[in-house]
Amino acid sequence: MTTLNSNATEQQSPTFGFWVWLMAPERRGALLITPAIVLLFAMNILPLMWSFGLSFFRYRANRLNPPEFLGWDNMFRNYEKVTSSSAIWDSFQTTAIIVAGSVTLQVIIGFLLALMFAREFPFRKILLSMVLTPMMLSFVAVGVFFKFFYEPSFGLLSQAIRVFTGEPYILLGTKWGSIWGIIIADAWMWSPFVMLLVLAGLVSVPKYLYEAADIDRASWFRRFRTITFPYIKSLLLLAVLFRTIETFKLFDLVYIITEGGPGSATETLSVYVYRQGFQYFRTSDASALGYILLFVVIVLTNLYLYVVNRRSEEL
Amino acid sequence: MASGIQIRQMTKRFGDLVAVNAVDLDIDDGEVLCLLGPSGCGKTTTLRMVAGLEDVSEGEICIDGNRVNDISTPERNVAMAFQFYALYPSITVAENLSYPLHAEQISRAEIKARIASVADKLDLTEVLNRYPSQLAEGEKQRVAVGRAIIRKPSCFLFDEPLSRLDIELRQQMRTKVKEVLAGLSKPTVIVTHDQIEALTMADRIAVMRDGKIEQVATPHDIFAAPSNTFVAGFIGTPGMNLIPSVIEGVSERGELKLNIDGQHVVVDVNAGAMNLPVGAKVTLGVRPRFFETVAESSETTLSGKVDIIEPMGAETLFHVLDGTRELRVVMDRTVRFKEGETIHLEFQPKLTHVFDAQGSLVQ
């Protein structure tokens, strides 16, 4: 080893000392990931820190005035301002309703679909890939699709209801109609995801346990409680947490289907932040709000990671 | 009303494969029947058909006098212990034991009493509050048995109950299970590939091969009078010597004269064999322990060279070459031979079986 090193030192010319140092085999791995790190830093981490800094400044992105520090005494003024406005609490409530409604619906539908697909039946594979399609579409496609679906004059929903009532049906005209419209679109898109996770749990149940339950004459409910549920519960919890985090950040569907309307009836937190930042150009307020949201998501994510780790320990 | 289990012409096909072929069996109340055979012989499928976990392709099964072919597993009211135990992982041992009792309308106090009594019988009292994943292999196996015997079912079925235990534990469990089985008043079927298990625990043994029952008899009879060469070779360790030979006639004393690989030997066998024609090809079956050695070669001895010697403790196993064939001979450990030594073997009277060309025992 020592002889090899001394040979290398003899051969290198002083001009290329740094180049040789850089190209040494032990630095090759670091060298290969450097471009990615630089890019990530420039595109992600820097803006993130920049916006974090902005949340302590007075700044509007559509003015030429440079950011102005709020001062050490009231550096949290932006945070105080956004949390004391009633609009954000309305928006928070709307988000909570959409999250609760959509996740509940996804779990119920996803669970039932999983129970159905856990058995063998004709055309199961074809049907399964069809059921999985919504999840693979882009948010914009799903948003536009539902926007047209709910459209009062030619939308399918309105036309179907007109057959019975004779009048066009404007689902997105009312607050609750709009909320339901978004919940249904989101649930339609993401129920297959819950189904996939639950299905993974269902197929991991050993068949002999059900045979033993047959022998032991266990009721349907007891079988579910003692055999099926223990195998799917952690996966189900994962699905619920993951969908809660995602739905909490929901923006695309809402923005395309209702644009937060009517009025601000379906303004979720993400839409609210977007409007603050890019319509009213209250950049520093929006940054502060963005970090409050991030904090909530981080808490939820840690909960998620905790469950993931616990499951991997169980198995 | 008939009691016990009656199986008539029961057949199971998986596509073209006949897994179980026209099986007939009767198991009485309180009787322990062992289905014994090599792996893949259809014994587990037979058991699963009795339990209703597999459909019957043909034939019928009656439990307590009722035809159960079209009755679902839960309604058959059978108790079964699975090869892989099939304990419910999410509930404790006590809950596992009492699991089948929920279907019976019995009081909490009665359930508690039954758990206590089964746990006591199977030494499980200490582990009642543990989960299956916290149990040792032997404890899991006892819970599986306990979950079966806690009930009052129409019959008990055990699928390879001891196959996953190590040898020492298996011996302990065998005694334990036999003790438990003795107290059962319903028909019991045990599936096993281990002949010692079958011989020790069963009242009767059914030997299976390729989906067919070869012989049903008590452990004693199946050892003493195997009905064909398969059963003869399968039961007993080391396996019975099956020696092809040709009949040369009957001696004045009513013994059979045989040509064994060129050696002419007179053997005292079952009278039925005397009726076989001269020149008939038969198989002579001799257990390794039923030889005697004599100093001098005579017309009643078979001679061979000692090839390999395997001491087994109390006894020694000699592999003896008679020409091209290898014979297994077991002698007391005090008998000493050297490798390469020629020895003369005499067949013990009446303990030698003759099988005809088709492999069936000649009575």
B88 with B156: CB under 8 angstroms? no
What pLDDT score was predicted for residue A190?
94
Peptide bond into A134 cis (omega under 30): no
The DSSP 8-state label assigned to residue A195 in this structure reads: H
Instruction: Report pLDDT digits (tens) over B83-120.
Output: 888 999 989 999 999 999 988 888 999 999 999 999 98
Q: How many C-beta neighbours within 10 Å does residue B326 have?
A: 13
Q: What's chain A's length in residues?
A: 315
Q: How sure is the predictor about A237, in pLDDT bands with cuts at 50, 70 and 90?
A: confident
Residue-level pLDDT at A314: 63
User: Between B177 and B331, where is the model more confident?
Assistant: B331
Q: How sure is the predictor about B190, in pLDDT bands with cuts at 50, 70 and 90?
A: very high
Q: Provide the pLDDT confidence category of residue A3 given band limits of 50, 70 and 90.
A: very low
Distance (Å) from the alpha carbon of B216 to chain A's nearest alpha carbon: 27
Q: How confident is the model at residue A15 (pLDDT cuts 50, 70, 90)?
A: low
pLDDT confidence band for A2 (50 / 70 / 90): very low
CA atoms within 13 A on the CB side of B78: 33
According to the CATH classification, is domain B241-355 in 2.40.50.140? yes
pLDDT of residue A155: 85
In sequence order, what are the residues at sequence separation of 6 or more whose Cβ sits closer than 8 angstroms to the Cβ of residue A270? A249, A250, A251, A254, A293
Percent of chain B with pLDDT over 70: 99
**Residue A153, Cβ neighbours under 10 Å: how many?**
9
The backbone region for B135, taken as left when phi is positive above 0, alpha when psi lies in -120 to 50, beta otherwise, is beta
Terminal C-alpha separation, chain A: 45
**In this complex, which of A211, A226, A230 lies closest to B53 when CB atoms are compared?**
A211
Residues 6 or more apart whose Cβ sits within 8 Å of residue B341: B305, B306
pLDDT at B157: 92
Vertex B141 angle, CA B138 and B147, to 5°:
140
Residue A61, pLDDT > 90, answer no
**How does pLDDT run across B256-293, given as a tens digit for each residue?**
888 888 888 888 887 778 888 888 899 989 999 999 88
B225 closest CA partner among B247, B246, B240, B209: B240
B66/A contact by beta carbon, under 8 A: no
Check residue A156 and give its pLDDT: 87
What is chain B's mean pLDDT, rounded?
A: 89
Contact A69, A150 (CB under 8 A): no
Between A and B, how many residue pairs show a Cβ–Cβ distance under 8 A? 53
Residue B165 has what pLDDT? 80
Q: What is the pLDDT of residues A72-84, one digit of tens each?
A: 877 788 888 878 8
Q: Which of B73, B87, B90 should one mutate to test binding to chain A, selecting the residue with the greatest count of A CBs within 10 A?
A: B90
**Can you give the residue ranges of every domain in chain B?**
5-234, 241-355
Rounded Cα–Cα distance for residues A270 and A99 (Å): 13
Residue A1 in this model has a pLDDT that exceeds 50: no
Task: Write down the pLDDT at residue B206.
Answer: 94
Report the candidate in B345, B231, B213 with the shortest Cα–Cα distance to residue B289.
B345
Fold match flag (B5-234 vs B241-355)? no
Contact B189, B44 (CB under 8 A): no
pLDDT higher than threshold 90 for residue A290 = no
Cβ–Cβ gap B88/A212 under 8 Å: yes
Interface of B with A in 125-154 (CB under 8 A): 147
Angstrom CA distances, B247 to A261, B181, B240, B275, B290, stand at 105, 46, 20, 11, 21
pLDDT of residue A11: 52
Output B63 or A8, whichever has higher pLDDT. B63
Question: Per CB distance under 8 Å, which residues of A are interface residues toward B?
Answer: 206, 208-209, 211-219, 222, 226-227, 229-230
Confidence check: pLDDT of B7 > 70: yes
Is the link from the previous residue into B311 a cis peptide, with omega within 30 of 0?
no
Q: How far apart are CA B108 and CA B271, in angstroms?
A: 64
Superfamily grouping for domain A93-314: MetI-like (1.10.3720.10)
The lowest-confidence range among A194-198, A309-313, B72-76 is A309-313
Residue of A nearest to B104 (CA): A217
Asked if the model's pLDDT at residue A9 lies above 60, the reply is no
**Strands, E assignment, A118-222:** none
Written out in words, the top-level CATH class of the domain with range B5-234 is: alpha beta
Give the confidence band of A119 by pLDDT, cuts at 50, 70, 90: confident
Cβ–Cβ below 8 Å for B103 and A215: no
pLDDT tens digits, A153-198: 888 888 888 888 878 888 888 888 899 999 999 999 999 999 999 9
B152 to chain A: closest CA residue: A216
pTM exceeds 0.80 for this model: no
Answer whether A219 sits within 8 Å of B103, measured CB to CB.
Answer: yes
Mark yes or no for CB contact B74/A206 under 8 Å.
no
> Which of chain A's residues have a Cβ under 8 Å away from the Cβ of B51?
215
- What's the ipTM? 0.82
Q: Which of B52, B82, B102 sits opposite A222 (nearest CB)?
A: B102
Measure in Å the smallest separation between the Cα of A98 and chain B Cα atoms.
34
User: Which of A81-90, B16-25, B29-38, B336-345 comes out lowest in average pLDDT?
Assistant: A81-90
CA dist., res. A110 & res. A236, Å (int):
10
Can you say whether the dihedral through the CA atoms of B27, B30, B31, B32 is positive or negative? positive
pLDDT of residue A142 exceeding 90: yes
What pLDDT, on the 0 to 100 scale, is given for residue A13?
Answer: 53
| Mean pLDDT across A240-267 | 87
Confidence of residue B130 (pLDDT cuts 50, 70, 90): very high
Average model confidence (pLDDT) across chain A: 85
**For residue A141, is pLDDT > 90?**
yes
Q: What is the pLDDT of residue A14?
A: 55
Percent of chain A with pLDDT over 70: 94
Residue numbers in B near A218 (CB within 8 A): 99-100, 102-103
